[in-house]
Amino acid sequence: MTAKKLFLGLLIAAAALGFGTLHSSANSNTKKAVTFSKDVAPIFFKNCADCHRANDIAPMSLMSYKEARPWARSIKEKVVTREMPPWSPDPKYGEFANDHRLAQTDIDTIVAWVDGGAKEGNPKDLPALPAFTQGGWQIGKPDVVLSMEKDWVVEVNAPDNYINFWIPTNFKEDKWIQAAEIMPGNRKVVHHVIAFIQPAKMAEARMNAEKTGKRTSNNNQQASMMYWDGTLRRVKMDAPVVDNTCDNQAMARRAGGGGGEEQEGALLAGYAPGKGLDVWPVGTAKKVPAGSYIMFQMHYSAFRGGLLKPEIDRTKLGLIFAKEPPDKMIYTAGVVNATFKIPAGDGNHEVVACMTVPRDIELLTYMPHMHLRGKDMRYDVIYPDGKKETLLWVPKFSFNWQTMYYLKTPVKIPKGTKVIITAHFDNSTKNKYNPDPTKDVRWGDPTYDEMMIGWFDMLLDNPTKNMAAKTGGK
C-alpha cells in the first residue's frame, strides 16, 4: 500500500467515524428520553428477575425504579463488561435455549438510560411484573404440588446442612412428568435442592436409617471410602486417590459419591439460583413410578455469612403431567469422580472422569457441578470413529449460579462414544471464594469440601410406549 493510499484510507475512516458520531447525536436529540418504565424495566424483568428480586440470591432487587435507581452506575458497568447477567460458557461451543446474554441493543438502551440521568418516566408505561416474582409458578398451574410436611428452621450461624425430606406421591399409577418446578420456601437459606424419585422400598429404608441414626451406604465400596459427619457425607482423607478415573474402571465404579441412581434414586428436578426450570420438550417426559416417594435433598446454608434471625423454610415441588405417554423418556446421569484429592495451595488441580455411552442417546442439557474451588469444566466426546468434539466449555465456573444449559436442539451421541469431563480446581489463596487454602480437599457434601459432576439430561426411547405400539396395545 502506498503512503498516499494509506492516508486516503485513514481520512475515509475518520470521516466515517465523524459522520457516525454526528449522526447518532442528531438522532438522540430527536428521540424521546430513555426511561425506566418504558425501556429499561422490560429488560430487567426478562433478564434480571431470576436473581434480582426480593429475598433472592442477588444483593438487591431491580424490580422497581426506586430499587434500581441507586444502582444505575454499577448496572451500566456490569452490563457493558457483560459480567451481568452471568453467563459462563464459551459461546464457541453449543447453542443454548436459555442463553441470557443481553442483546447489544439492550445494552445500548441501559447505557443511554444511565447517561441520560436514569429517569423514571411514566409509571403507566411499566409492563406487568413477572408472575413468578409474586410467588406464582413459572411452569404454569401444577397438576400436583408436593410439599415438605413440616417447617425446617435454620438458626442464626447454623453450619451448612444437608437435610432429606421424603414426600409420598400417593400416585396409583405410573406418571409422566412434563415440567417440574421446585419452589424454595425461603430463598435466603435454601442453597440448592435436588428432588429424587425413590421407589417405596428404597425410601422406607432410607427414612428408617435416618430415624435410627444409622445412615448407611447401599454400596460397600463407597461405604469404605465415606463417613458421615452429622448430616453430611464426606470422603475419608486417607481413602485411595485417583484424579483421573478414565483408565481405571475399578475406581470409576467406586466414584458415585452422590447422585448415583442406586444411592439416591433417579433425579427428577433441581433448584439452584439461576439454574432455570425443568421443562421438557413435548413428546418427552420423566417417569415417576406408582407408589414412589420424592426425596428432597435440601442444602441449607446461612445466606452471605450469617442471618439476623432464624429463618423458616417449607419447600414445595410443582409437577405438570404429560398429556400422553411420551415417545422418549428423559434420564439424568452424572459423570462423576469422587476419588480426587486437591492438594493445599494448588491453583490448577486437574480432575477427570469418563463414561462410555452404552446405547444411542440424545443429549438435552448439561450442568457442571463443583463447589467453591471449582475453576473450569469441559465436556468432550470421542465418537466411535475417533473424531473428537467439545460440547461445553465453562472457562470461569461460578458456584453462585449453577446453570443448567438447555441445548437448542438435542445432540445425538452414538453408542460407544466416550464422554470425558475435565475439571480444574483452584485451592490457592488467589481464589477469593476459597474457604481454606491450607487444607487438602476431598469429595463431600459441605461447600467447604468439593464435588465433581458433569450432569446430563438425555433422551431414551420409552420402552413401554414402544412395546405397546409393537403389540398393537394402547
Site for ligand HEC in 99-118 (CB under 6 A): 100, 102
**Is residue 71 near ligand HEC by the rule CB under 6 A?**
yes
Q: Where are the alpha helices (DSSP H) in 214-343?
A: 220-225, 249-254, 261-264
**Is residue 36 near ligand HEC by the rule CB under 6 A?**
no
Number of residues that bind ligand HEC (CB under 6 A): 24
**Which is nearer to ligand HEC, 165 or 405 (by Cβ)?**
405
Binding region for ligand HEC (CB under 6 A) out of 44-52, 171-179, 436-444, 446-454: 44-52
Residue 186: CB minimum distance to ligand HEC, A: 17
Applying CB under 6 A, among 34, 58, 295, 367 the residue interacting with ligand HEC is 58
CB closest to ligand HEC, residue no:
274
Binding region for ligand HEC (CB under 6 A) out of 69-77, 167-175, 449-457, 464-472: 69-77
**Is residue 272 near ligand HEC by the rule CB under 6 A?**
no
**Is residue 367 near ligand HEC by the rule CB under 6 A?**
no
How many Cβ atoms from other residues are within 10 Å of residue 132's Cβ? 16
DSSP 377-398: EEEEEE-TTS-EEEEEEESS--
**Is residue 455 near ligand HEC by the rule CB under 6 A?**
no
Max CA pair span of the chain = 89
Applying CB under 6 A, among 41, 57, 154, 189 the residue interacting with ligand HEC is 57
CA distance linking residue 41 with residue 63, whole number of Å: 7
Applying CB under 6 A, among 63, 85, 371, 381 the residue interacting with ligand HEC is 85
From the centroid of its chain, how far is CA 137? 18
**Is residue 227 near ligand HEC by the rule CB under 6 A?**
no
Binding region for ligand HEC (CB under 6 A) out of 49-57, 117-125, 349-357, 461-469: 49-57
Residue 53: CB minimum distance to ligand HEC, A: 10
**Is residue 74 near ligand HEC by the rule CB under 6 A?**
yes
CA distance linking residue 384 with residue 126, whole number of Å: 54
Binding region for ligand HEC (CB under 6 A) out of 53-61, 145-153, 305-313, 351-359: 53-61
Residue carrying C-alpha cell 419452589: 183
CA distance linking residue 398 with residue 373, whole number of Å: 9
Residue carrying C-alpha cell 404440588: 145
| Measured CA distances, 3 to 10, 11, 15, 451 (Å) | 11, 12, 18, 61
**Is residue 34 near ligand HEC by the rule CB under 6 A?**
no
Residue 441: CB minimum distance to ligand HEC, A: 22
Residue 129: CB minimum distance to ligand HEC, A: 15
**Is residue 368 near ligand HEC by the rule CB under 6 A?**
no
Long-range pairs for 413-416 at CB < 8 Å and ≥24 separation?
A: 413/357, 413/360, 413/361, 413/362, 413/363, 413/381, 413/458, 414/357, 414/360, 414/383, 414/384, 415/357, 415/358, 415/359, 415/360, 415/384, 416/356, 416/357, 416/384
Applying CB under 6 A, among 79, 182, 357, 394 the residue interacting with ligand HEC is 79
Q: Quick check: 325 and 464 in contact, CB under 8 A?
A: yes
| Strand ranges (E), 205-348 | 226-229, 232-235, 266-271, 278-279, 284-288, 293-300, 311-313, 316-321, 328-336
Residue 83: CB minimum distance to ligand HEC, A: 8
**Which is nearer to ligand HEC, 165 or 401 (by Cβ)?**
401
CA distance linking residue 27 with residue 21, whole number of Å: 10
**Is residue 274 near ligand HEC by the rule CB under 6 A?**
yes
Residue 2: CB minimum distance to ligand HEC, A: 48
**Is residue 75 near ligand HEC by the rule CB under 6 A?**
yes
What is the DSSP secondary structure assignment for residue 291, as one 8-state letter? Answer: T
Residue 49: CB minimum distance to ligand HEC, A: 8
**Is residue 399 near ligand HEC by the rule CB under 6 A?**
no
> Does the N-terminal peptide bond of residue 85 adopt cis geometry, omega within 30 degrees of 0?
yes
**Which is nearer to ligand HEC, 60 or 241 (by Cβ)?**
60
Q: In the structure grid, which three cell numbers stand for residue 474, read together?
A: 394402547
**Is residue 84 near ligand HEC by the rule CB under 6 A?**
yes
Give residues in contact with ligand HEC (CB under 6 A): 44, 47-48, 50-52, 57-59, 62, 71, 74-75, 78-79, 84-86, 100, 102, 273-274, 400-401
